Amino acid sequence: MIRYSHITAVVAALVALVASTANAALVVYYEEPFSLNPSAPRTFVLGELNGQHGWQSIPGTASVAYWGQGDRRVGVSVTSRGAAFGFETLVSSPVFASIPQPTGDDYVMTMLLGFDRNDVTWYVTPKNVTNNRVVTRVKFAAGGGIFVLVPDGQGGGAYEPIPNMTWEPNHNYTLVLAARGDGRLQISLDQRSVVEFDGASFIQGIEAVAIETGNERAGRKMIFDKIKVRDGRINRQ
């Protein structure tokens, strides 16, 4: 019988998680601010994202663009295509790093994101490319609910809601996702409490990330920026 894990507790504030990672032996192995600066490690240009520094996207759906207050930030703008296309992956990152298997390390991914409307479902999907599996999916459901895919270890799984947490349009969120080497998954959004999922078959090692959508409506936009992925050991709690 397949057993799904359940939310065990709201364990800490985001500031506590950040503080613990700062004191741990965590190493940044991928960081992408989508810089236009020619002196940056990777220089992007405004316009179509597909093909820039290993990023892939369905042509016409994702672009490097200015956004935010005063349009001074640069990130990736992703556009839904409408119900006729159904669920699809619009953006796939390059492989950040090849993670040794097995590993007992902790992996922490942070990113900035925002949405123009809340009538389309969006997914942030960290992946383990070596094993051709998703680590989880954070589902920003149409209407404002937030759910997490809890794998069953056999290629399936179920979405569980994050209680007392919703998302709204026209707001910038910081997503922190910690895939712990002991099987736990911790998620925080916009400096709210960390929600912990325990005892699940969360595969270790974040090697890439994808942006997916339910495409319920056409022309809706998601913005993402400032991706950082770290590897090491968070202080055990």
Residue 1 has pLDDT above 90, yes or no: no
Residue 163 has pLDDT above 90, yes or no: no
Residue 74, domain member (yes or no): no
Residue 27: strand pairing partners: 231
The parent domain of residue 173 ranges over 7-26+81-216
Most confident segment among 50-59, 142-151, 225-234: 50-59
Residue 7 has pLDDT above 70, yes or no: no
For range 71-89, the mean pLDDT: 94
For range 212-225, the mean pLDDT: 97
Residue 1, domain member (yes or no): no
104 or 155: which leads in pLDDT: 104
pLDDT score of 31: 94
pLDDT score of 104: 80
Residue 137, domain member (yes or no): yes
* pTM across the whole model: 0.89
Give me the percent of the chain exceeding a pLDDT of 70: 82
Those residues with Cβ within 8 angstroms of residue 65's Cβ, 6 or more apart along the chain or in another chain: 46, 74, 75, 76, 77
Tokens 């940056």 appear where? 40
The first and second tokens of residue 146, run together, are 């937030």
Residue 41, domain member (yes or no): no
CATH number where 139 lies: 2.60.120.200
Average pLDDT, the chain: 85
Residue 61, domain member (yes or no): no
Work out how many domains the chain is built from and give that number.
1
Residue 88, domain member (yes or no): yes
Q: For residue 132, with 0-12 CB atoms within 10 Å meaning exposed, 13-18 middle and 19 or more buried, which class applies?
A: exposed
pLDDT classification of 24: cutoffs 50, 70, 90: low
